[in-house]
């Protein structure tokens, strides 16, 4: 399910990018303010929302909802690792220090003469 949602999220992102690129910007009519002729206002009229602007809104909302859903799913999946738990500890790169040895037992001292 996580993979299917990830693929759907990628498709929504691609669609959102394409729809935004298809739209003309608000600054496209700025030349009309200096004698271009087709616009009544400086930045163009707002007019009714077009199909592309409605599609942008819908895809943007879907993108945000999918992002939150995928984040929640990923946090609940738990961490997985490719390293097995029973793997032996890595060898240290520091040179091995020999274990301290006990001093050799000394022979008992000879009894002093005369005792």
pLDDT in tens, 14-26: 999 999 998 877 6
| Residue at token pair 């000879």 | 110
* Residue 49: strand, helix, or coil: coil
Instruction: Output the pLDDT for position 74.
Output: 84
Instruction: Output the pLDDT for position 108.
Output: 74
Say whether pLDDT at 13 is over 90: yes
Cα gap 26→31, rounded to integer Å: 11
Cα gap 97→47, rounded to integer Å: 82
Rounded to an integer, the average pLDDT of 26-32 is 58
What is the average pLDDT score of the chain? 76
For 87-114, write each residue's pLDDT tens digit. Answer: 666 666 666 666 677 776 777 777 777 6
For 64-90, write each residue's pLDDT tens digit. Answer: 999 999 999 888 877 667 777 776 666
Answer whether 39's CB lies under 8 Å from 33's CB.
yes
Alpha helices by DSSP H, listed for 33-89, are 51-77
Cα gap 50→44, rounded to integer Å: 14
């Amino acid at each position: 399910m996580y993979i299917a949602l990830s693929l759907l999220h990628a498709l929504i992102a691609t669609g959102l990018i394409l729809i935004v690129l298809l739209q003309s910007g608000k600054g496209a009519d700025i030349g009309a303010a200096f004698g271009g002729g087709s616009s009544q206002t400086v930045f163009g009229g707002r007019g009714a929302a077009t199909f592309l602007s409605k599609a942008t809104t819908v895809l943007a909302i879907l993108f945000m909802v999918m992002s939150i859903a995928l984040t929640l799913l990923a946090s609940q999946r738990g961490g997985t690792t490719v390293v097995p738990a029973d793997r032996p500890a890595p060898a240290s790169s520091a040179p091995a220090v020999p274990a301290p040895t006990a001093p050799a037992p000394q022979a008992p001292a000879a009894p002093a003469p005369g005792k």
